[in-house]
Amino acid sequence: MVSDREGRRRQGGMIRSLAFAALAVALSCAGAQAETYPSRPITLIVPYPAGGPSDTLARVLVEPLRAALGQSIVIENVSGAGGSIGVGRVARAAPDGYMLALGHIQTHVINGATQNLPYDVVKDFEPITLVADTPQWIVAKASFPPNNLKEMVAWMKANPGKATAGTVGVGGPTDIAAIYFQRHTGTTFQFVPYRGGAPLIQDLLGGTIDLTFGQAANYLGPVRNGQLKAYAVLSNKRWWASPDTPTIDEAGGPDLYSSFWHGLWAPKGTPPDVIAKLNAAVSQALSDPVLKKRFADIGQEIWPADKQNPQALAAQQKAQIEKWWPIIKAAGIKTE
């Protein structure tokens, strides 16, 4: 006959065994879950309208990215408020790697200085990688009278407030570049805000507006076809996709360098192994020859392999914040 003490000892041993078994199962399940990521479709938020440059870039990227991850990727365009609505949705998403944001200089730099955001553009995200880069340039309708940048500045001074410049939103990269240009050349022109790049270019091609300080990739085809004319690229070196277009320095303009660099972010707290898997998959996708050609065709330049990592994206964002926030705040640019 078993004593009470012995019974209690055996019962305690059984409980401990069951607890250890349960813990082992839990750890095994957790390990299996991590190993099988992604086990369901991933949503990629593009915070701008369909048909624009960011949307086009995303749709080229997801084809080889699906193959690299072995899982479908659904692009969701969530536009409005300069991209902050879509990005805000990602900031509030579960940090499990199933909702990502494709952003750029506006969503993860400029908006942090111009808007009262319900999230922090740095602290509420995990950087995954830099993706592609394209400069801004000054481009106008084909019938715009000036033939070069110096003539454009002279024409604007002779016709103050007559020209119209399209911008994507208020307080976006195109808006800020145009304000910077006005202040450093002594010119004035009217601003016409748009919700995205696609409707802006339609009006520029139709002659409804005169010019823009736009994302170069968005206007490359029409410039090559003679439907639009480019005055200068906002860079200290000529752009490989349009080598005949002078730099802002060569054209005699102000010291204004700006580009639309794109990156991928996940919500803060996304596990490091998930970030690493996403990063590896994007790097694999960016090495695909078909993607490289398609990016080149739309004027997007892939970042070098040593920049395709979370650390490089974080460093790029930090450097751009340090550059643009003082300019924005000095100009008093603020949006609702």
What pLDDT, in 10s, does the model give residues 123-148?
999 999 999 999 999 999 999 999 99
CATH T-level assignment (fold) for domain 42-134+259-331: D-Maltodextrin-Binding Protein; domain 2 (3.40.190)
Is residue 22 pLDDT above 70, yes or no? no
3-state helix, strand, coil in the chain (%, to 5): 50, 20, 35
Confidence (pLDDT) at 16:
54
251 within 8 A of 216, measured Cβ to Cβ: no
Confidence (pLDDT) at 26:
46
320 within 8 A of 105, measured Cβ to Cβ: yes
Between CA 119 and CA 115 the distance in angstroms is 10
Confidence (pLDDT) at 8:
52
Residue with tokens 């790029």: 316
Domains 42-134+259-331 and 138-233 in one fold: yes
The residue among 222, 242, 221, 218 whose CA lies nearest residue 232 is: 242
For the chain, the domains span 42-134+259-331, 138-233
257 DSSP 8-state letter: -
Confidence (pLDDT) at 47:
95
How do beta strands 301-302 and 259-267 pair? unpaired
Confidence (pLDDT) at 11:
56
82 DSSP 8-state letter: G
Mean pLDDT of 67-85: 95
CATH T-level assignment (fold) for domain 138-233: D-Maltodextrin-Binding Protein; domain 2 (3.40.190)
Is residue 199 pLDDT above 80, yes or no? yes
Between CA 71 and CA 115 the distance in angstroms is 35
195 DSSP 8-state letter: S
